[in-house]
């Protein structure tokens, strides 16, 4: 049995050994509730506060602008619903893109049931939002713009600083206020997360995407941003997110973020070298393979190809037999019967969307692993094409 070649880092990552180490004492030794008064609890309180400072330093904000959540999905929900419901008196219009993660898209669709109107901006063939489209979509009713920092499927990096600047300029001219949120879940470890350079009011992160634990997210909430908490209960997180703090998870998250940011330049170069090796290898070895996403405005770890005449799940099963873990935009790999909404929004036809393969590399991958996948993938595609009624002979 070959060792696992894990190429699905955009789905989740393994917890870094150092992260696990700092988390462990908070399960059975320093288990106090941070809201309690005794020494045991105050150890936990200090750990949460220190973690908040670490995260704030990295994002370039104040510690009290950080809200810990149960994950990226909750951070997106809290940001979008929290901003929308607290500003409904001033406007009901939200702008997002058609390629957002479902945590954003489905939250916007949910808000449509409560009288909000949502503009889903189109993207170009590379998955890029057009800033002029965005500027044109803004009205005096626009209260919120939420555009992802980078796309999880195709890795396209969106012009968030420009989007934020245009939004603020238009709002100023209209005499309104527009809150700008970005789902930065895929950007950690690859892109600048400084909230002032990005120009955003709210930003979401998910710990398990950067070698932290599952079940912890970060919501940055700029001071003064209208916000209605989406969870009722205790006074935790300055009344913005009720519920006993996940001390171990928060401690692990802060350390994971620190490690990934400290190592960012090295990790970026490492991933990009592997990514480019993959892209060049696939392009050279497999005919009718189409790179999805932008050639350069692309996350350093994302490879996404469509292969004509074959279906994604069949590729994934064959890769799994060979010990390789990857992902696809095929309908078969989701709960719905529709192929990827991201690829569809990019104008990629359904058949090609079904035949997509996403390989996302991480700091733990090696060139040997990439070469191994490049040695087996052409055979897998050939085998599937040989049984496909869509394939034209000799192509």
Smallest gap from residue 354 Cβ to other proteins (A): 4
Task: Determine if 250 is a binding residue for other proteins (CB under 8 A).
Answer: no
Q: Of the candidates 163, 214, 165, which has an alpha carbon nearest to the alpha carbon of residue 185?
A: 214
Q: Binder to other proteins among 111, 138, 166, 331 (CB under 8 A)?
A: 331
Cβ burial of 232 (10 Å; 0-12, 13-18, 19+) is exposed
d(CA 124, CA 372): 33
Smallest gap from residue 321 Cβ to other proteins (A): 7
Q: Under 8 Å CB-to-CB from 38, ≥6 apart: which residues?
A: 32
Residues 345-364 contacting other proteins, CB under 8 A: 350-351, 354
Smallest gap from residue 304 Cβ to other proteins (A): 17
Q: Binder to other proteins among 112, 169, 321, 375 (CB under 8 A)?
A: 321
Which of 234, 347 has the CB closer to other proteins? 347
Smallest gap from residue 217 Cβ to other proteins (A): 28
Contact characters 261-300, other proteins, x per CB under 8 A: ----------------------------------------
Task: Kindly give the pairing relationship between strand 179-183 and strand 142-146.
Answer: parallel
d(CA 296, CA 291): 12
Rg (CA), the chain: 22
Which of 296, 394 has the CB closer to other proteins? 394
Smallest gap from residue 7 Cβ to other proteins (A): 19
Number of residues counted as binding other proteins (CB under 8 A): 21
Task: Determine if 386 is a binding residue for other proteins (CB under 8 A).
Answer: yes
Stretches 84-92, 165-173, 188-196, 328-336: which one binds other proteins (CB under 8 A)?
328-336
Task: Name the region of 112 (left: φ>0; alpha: ψ -120 to 50; beta: rest).
Answer: alpha
332 labelled catalytic: yes
Give the burial string for 53-84 (b: 16+ CB within 10 Å, else e): ebbbebbebeeebbbbbbbbbbbbbbbbbbbb
Sign of the dihedral through C-alpha 43, 46, 50, 56: positive
Q: Under 8 Å CB-to-CB from 281, ≥6 apart: which residues?
A: 370, 371, 374
Q: Binder to other proteins among 33, 231, 272, 388 (CB under 8 A)?
A: 388
Q: Binder to other proteins among 64, 196, 317, 367 (CB under 8 A)?
A: 317
Q: Under 8 Å CB-to-CB from 66, ≥6 apart: which residues?
A: 52, 55, 56, 59, 218, 219, 220, 221
Smallest gap from residue 162 Cβ to other proteins (A): 36
301: helix, strand or coil: coil
Which of 79, 343 has the CB closer to other proteins? 343
Task: Determine if 311 is a binding residue for other proteins (CB under 8 A).
Answer: yes
Smallest gap from residue 89 Cβ to other proteins (A): 43
User: What is the CA 170 to chain-centroid distance, rounded?
Assistant: 27
Stretches 47-55, 92-100, 357-365, 385-393: which one binds other proteins (CB under 8 A)?
385-393
Q: Binder to other proteins among 34, 72, 339, 362 (CB under 8 A)?
A: 339
d(CA 106, CA 112): 10
Tell me the catalytic residues: 332
**Contact residues: other proteins, CB under 8 A:** 309-311, 313-314, 317, 321, 330-332, 335, 337, 339, 350-351, 354, 386-390
């Amino acid at each position: 049995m070959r060792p696992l070649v894990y190429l699905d880092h955009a789905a989740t990552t393994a917890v870094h050994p150092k992260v696990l180490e700092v988390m462990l004492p908070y399960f059975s030794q320093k288990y106090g509730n941070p809201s309690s008064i005794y020494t045991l609890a105050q150890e936990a309180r200090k750990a949460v506060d220190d973690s908040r400072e670490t995260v704030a330093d990295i994002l370039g904000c104040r510690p009290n602008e950080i809200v810990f959540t149960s994950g990226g999905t909750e951070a997106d929900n809290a940001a979008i619903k929290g901003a929308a419901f607290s500003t409904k008196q001033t406007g009901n219009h939200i702008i997002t893109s058609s390629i957002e993660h479902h945590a954003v898209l489905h939250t916007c669709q949910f808000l449509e049931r409560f009288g909000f109107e949502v503009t889903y901006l189109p993207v170009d063939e590379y998955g890029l939002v057009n800033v002029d489209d965005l500027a044109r979509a803004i009205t005096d009713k626009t209260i919120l713009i939420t555009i992802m920092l980078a796309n999880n499927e195709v890795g396209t990096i969106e012009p968030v600083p420009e989007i934020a600047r245009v939004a603020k300029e238009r709002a100023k001219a209209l005499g309104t206020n527009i809150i700008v949120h970005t789902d930065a879940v895929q950007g950690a470890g690859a892109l600048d997360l400084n909230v002032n350079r990005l120009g955003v009011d709210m930003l979401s992160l998910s710990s398990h995407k950067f070698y932290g634990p599952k079940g912890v997210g970060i919501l940055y909430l700029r001071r003064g941003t209208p916000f209605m908490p989406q969870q009722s209960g205790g006074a935790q997180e300055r009344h913005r997110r009720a519920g006993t703090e996940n001390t171990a998870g928060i401690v692990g998250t802060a350390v994971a973020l620190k490690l990934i940011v400290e190592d960012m330049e090295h990790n970026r170069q490492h991933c990009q070298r592997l990514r480019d090796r993959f892209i060049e290898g696939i392009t050279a070895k497999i005919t009718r393979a189409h790179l999805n996403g932008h050639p350069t405005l692309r996350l350093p770890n994302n490879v996404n190809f469509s292969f004509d005449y074959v279906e994604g799940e069949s590729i994934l099963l064959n890769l799994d037999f060979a010990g390789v873990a990857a992902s696809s935009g095929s309908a078969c790999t989701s709960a719905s019967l529709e192929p990827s909404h991201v690829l569809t929004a990019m104008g990629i036809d359904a058949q090609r969307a079904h035949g997509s393969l996403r390989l996302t590399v991480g700091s733990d991958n090696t060139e040997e692993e990439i070469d191994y996948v490049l040695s087996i993938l052409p055979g897998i595609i050939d085998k599937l094409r040989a049984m496909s009624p869509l394939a034209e002979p000799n192509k």
